[in-house]
Structure 1
Amino acid sequence: MGIRVIRLSDAPVLEQLLRENRDWLQPWEATHPSGAGAVPGSVSMRPTIKAMRRQLRSGSGAPFVITIGGAVVGQLSVSEISGGALRSAQLGYWVARSAAGRGATPTACALAIDYLFGELGMHRVEICIRPENAPSLRVVEKLGLRYEGRRAAYIHIDGAWRDHDCFAITVEEAEQGMLSRLGASLDAGARPPVQ
């Protein structure tokens, strides 16, 4: 299991995963309040991947794919990377139903958090989750993230403004590293060299 920086060549497999997992992912996907926007997987991911890679180059985001045995099974995005006195970032992710429960998501999050703390010098990372999303709540539980509270009507998800529970961790709370805390096994070359 692991993560690597997203590539343009990942577009077809991500599109296929999004199409095949519509019923699994739709309840948790961000939507535009106006109702505009394409159904994920119904249009090319190439423009989105290009935009994500621009964020990577500018330092405002870091887009990864989640892998098991080298095969892409989902995506993890680091957003809202802030420097200065804040030094914070947010994680968002999704995986195919076939990857759920196999440790891929907690491992991917642990790798990303270790990268953010160790390589980018972040101080705090947060993950916001809908309270009804039991599989994602299990991810933050496995990682030992601290519950910070509920954000009412925080993100437009699946056609409505939805509450989210916020979980966070600081570098001081993860002294030994998130991956060692999780005790995860990795695919060879799974640590995320950002290119």
Structure 2
Amino acid sequence: MWGQAIWPVTLESGDLILRPIKLRDRAEWMRVRSRNAAWLQPWEASNPVGQGDLPTFGGMVRALNGQARDATALPFVITERVPHQAKPALVGQLTVSSIMWGSAMMATLGYWVDQGRAGRGIAPTAAAMVTDHCFQTLGLHRMEINIRPENAASLRVVEKLGFRDEGLRPRYLHINGEWADHRSFALTAEEVPGGILPRWLANR
């Protein structure tokens, strides 16, 4: 029942729409991922125990939906209204994961965006939308984003949004075939009482 109380949800800001990922997104998701294979590969999660590939698209969606039902994740696709196109285009993915309730009230945010639409403010806008939703609607207290030190594009996102740099986590996640260092960035609800999205949109 708790999972049903927080999910599904759709968030909108201007032409940007964050909605639940669905099995019927497979064809469009695969096209975008294929087009961005080289762009995304250096940052891709991998399996450290050598037990085969990561899940198929269907397996990923079913796993994410299960986590959403358990109120431990919010799995969105990032879509954008495009002129002369009836249906918003899928331009990326954003997942709030590792949601902890009780005394922690925290979560981790991860995302990727189509390279052809990078640099247009999509990632920071989506991250701001979701962080505000988690703080203001769900009552979470802390949002964390972990980024490879070499990932300049993602580092610009947290810089634009004012996430606090909490330092290096050596060999934190298995990425692209090896254990990789990450820098951790975080915000707490008290640091952004008016929300991140209004501040970000005003300063763009």
Q: TM-score, with normalisation over the residues of structure 1?
A: 0.89
- Distance in 1 of aligned mates of 2:19 and 2:142: 21
How far has the Cα of 1:37 moved from its partner?
Answer: 3.5
Alpha-carbon deviations, 1:56-81, whole Å to 9, x = none?
11101010011221211110011010
SS of the aligned residue for 2:171 comes to strand
Q: In structure 1, what is the equivalent of residue 167 of structure 2?
A: 149
Pairs within 5 Å for 1:17-36: 17-36=32-51
| 2:71 paired with 1:59 | yes
Q: Per chain length, whose mean CA-contact separation is higher, i.e. which structure has more relative contact order (CA < 8 Å, sep 6+)?
A: 1
- Distance in 2 of aligned mates of 1:90 and 1:106: 15
- Distance in 1 of aligned mates of 2:138 and 2:50: 36
* Counterpart residue type for residue 193 of structure 2: E
* Counterpart residue type for residue 191 of structure 2: E
* Counterpart residue type for residue 40 of structure 2: L
Quote the sequence identity (%): 49
Give unmatched runs, 5+ long, in structure 1. 185-195
- Distance in 1 of aligned mates of 2:38 and 2:48: 20
- Distance in 1 of aligned mates of 2:161 and 2:102: 26
* Counterpart residue type for residue 16 of structure 1: R
- Distance in 2 of aligned mates of 1:156 and 1:98: 26
| 2:138 paired with 1:120 | yes
Relative to structure 2, which stretch is displaced further, 43-52 or 76-85? Answer: 43-52
Alpha-carbon deviations, 1:148-184, whole Å to 9, x = none?
0100000000111000000000001111111101117
| 2:197 paired with 1:179 | yes
Alpha-carbon deviations, 1:5-27, whole Å to 9, x = none?
11221122111211111100000
SS of the aligned residue for 1:132 comes to coil
* Counterpart residue type for residue 142 of structure 1: K
* Counterpart residue type for residue 108 of structure 1: A
Q: State the superposition RMSD in angstroms.
A: 1.4
SS of the aligned residue for 1:101 comes to coil
SS of the aligned residue for 2:98 comes to strand
Q: Is contact 2:47–2:53 with CA below 8 Å preserved after alignment?
A: no
Q: Is contact 2:95–2:109 with CA below 8 Å preserved after alignment?
A: yes
Select 1:85's aligned residue among 100, 103, 111.
103
Q: Is contact 1:35–1:159 with CA below 8 Å preserved after alignment?
A: no
Give unmatched runs, 5+ long, in structure 2. 1-15, 82-87
- Distance in 1 of aligned mates of 2:52 and 2:136: 36
Q: TM-score, with normalisation over the residues of structure 2?
A: 0.85
Alpha-carbon deviations, 1:32-90, whole Å to 9, x = none?
11344437xxx841221111111111101010011221211110011010001100000
* Counterpart residue type for residue 24 of structure 1: W
Alpha-carbon deviations, 1:95-142, whole Å to 9, x = none?
111121011110110111011111211000000000000000000011
| 2:19 paired with 1:4 | yes
Question: Aligned pairs, how many?
Answer: 181
- Distance in 1 of aligned mates of 2:43 and 2:57: 18
* Counterpart residue type for residue 74 of structure 2: A
* Counterpart residue type for residue 76 of structure 1: L
- Distance in 2 of aligned mates of 1:174 and 1:17: 33
